[in-house]
Amino acid sequence: MSLDDQPIMQPNPKRVKIESRDTNGTYKTQSRTKWVIEALYSESVVARLWRVAAKALGSANPPILFPEYTGNDSAFYVYRSLDFWTSGFFPGSLYLLLERLMKYPQDTPLSQAKNDGNSLMPHPLQLEHLCKWWTANLHQNALKHDTHDLGFMIAPWAMKAWELQRDAAAYNSLIMAAHSLASRFNSTTQCLQSWDVCVTNRYSFTDPSKDFLVIIDNMLNLDLLFWVARETSNSLLFDIARAHAKTTQKHHIRKDNTTFHVVNFDAQTGNVKAKFTNQGYSDDSCWARGQAWGILGFMQTFGWTSDKSFLETAKALADYFLAHLPADGVPYWDFTAPVLATSPRDTSAAMVAGCGLLLLHKALKGTSDGDHYLREAINLVDATVTKFLNPPTIQFQTTQCTSKVLVYPEGCLDENDSDGFNKLTVGDQLTSKPRDTILDGATINNYEFAPRRWSNHGLVYADYYFLLFGNMLLELDLVNGESQCID
């Protein structure tokens, strides 16, 4: 059965018109019910996240370990400590679900379940509790001065907690995190230090006073600085973020619009000592997720500064990204690495780039370029879910309580009564071990000299940006019942 023939899980399918690639890599226009849109908002997506999150409900204390990736030999997450850079993504995903419920009640399965009666969903109060439960121990990360990743560790959940619920603790953590991040700014290099140390099987940098390492990923942490700068009228934070973006624009972008992963500066003079990779194929190659970080990061920076040079940089990076996709539309982990039968893809790069393309559409709305980037964004996610979406077979179900309770005056509550204490559970229609992640096909690091290589697995931030893409479509009013996503 072809993908076009697969059943759609949710009622009231959303219609889209997109341009999709044919087998020759050219484009053709199609108008049909897109299962990719259903995948973005399906019950299965919610159930998969709920299944992981609910594991912590019975614990005595809030989580101190957070999901990162699924191994090739396991369907289940491998967890990392709360101070690891990816700790904010899973709670951030829970807050994205809460945002759908609170801001877009007509376009979420949580709300549709109330109307069609065909689905079971968590009660909104349970989701709110899980959001707070999974973030209770993360506030302390805002005080860390030894990492540039505070934007990843704090912003995905804390910004939503403040926006949706006016959570004062989250607001304070955002402010503290921004100032902690700003402490890593060097006025000579005009950028934030990314890593204090970096050790591979090829090189070793262990003295941050000699080697000032800056990675393209750091562009995504600037959003935190800009946000707090606006909230607190702090022009210094704004200037630091803008200066870092300018330095990255100058030194991380090659003439062919590809990106270096790492630039090593002399902290005393500001001169560039070396440019190399820590996760790509080679020092001169184009690591796919690094290119995606650049697209999204420069578009976020453009949104805060209105500096058109950042917009032009993002466009150039995006055009390269799109021009070098393979025929099936899913990026390999590195655009210039040799392509073999075993070459890994990176769905996290696809999802990050997809969000950047939506911001390009937003900035260029009403123009042919704006329409182009929207079509390409949909194509990119379409290709990714076609090839790497884990089967959307997970659904909610209830397990009836085995004990009875006394009810006055009728006597004992019947065990089949739907008003009893029934437990919400998650089941898989097909397999006994459903994978924890929404997507497979991600690659953390396939660098030849990496101490450890990871590829072809699920990854928490691939799923986070998949969910973010769906929320961005809602924010842009591109998904609304039977309305068309693209005219």
Q: Is 319 a catalytic residue?
A: no
The residue assigned the tokens 């995006």 is 318
| Rounded Cα distance, 482 and 424, in Å | 30
Fill in the amino acid letter for 161: A
Active-site annotation holder among 107, 167, 211, 217? 217
Which residues, listed in sequence order, are joined to residue 222 by a DSSP beta bridge?
Answer: none
Determine which helix (DSSP H) or strand (DSSP E) holds 176, and give its type and residue range.
Answer: helix 168-182
Q: How many residues does the chain have?
A: 487
Single out the residue of 148, 3, 40 nearest to residue 378, CA to CA. 40
Give the count of beta carbons closer than 10 Å to the beta carbon of residue 445: 17
Which residues, listed in sequence order, are joined to residue 195 by a DSSP beta bridge?
Answer: 213
Rounded-to-5 percentages of helix, strand, coil across the chain = 45, 15, 40
Q: Is 217 a catalytic residue?
A: yes
Token digits for 322? 């799109």
| Rounded Cα distance, 146 and 166, in Å | 28
Q: What is the largest CA-CA distance in the chain?
A: 83
CA dihedral 366, 367, 368, 371 (to 10 degrees): -40
Which residues, listed in sequence order, are joined to residue 395 by a DSSP beta bridge?
Answer: 427
Active-site annotation holder among 107, 149, 167, 436? 149
Q: How many CA atoms lie within 13 A of 123 on its CB side?
A: 7
Beta carbons of 362 and 476 less than 8 angstroms apart: yes
Alpha helices in 327-409 (DSSP H): 347-363, 368-388
Which residues, listed in sequence order, are joined to residue 186 by a DSSP beta bridge?
Answer: 191
Which residues, listed in sequence order, are joined to residue 80 by a DSSP beta bridge?
Answer: 66
Q: Which residues are catalytic?
A: 149, 217
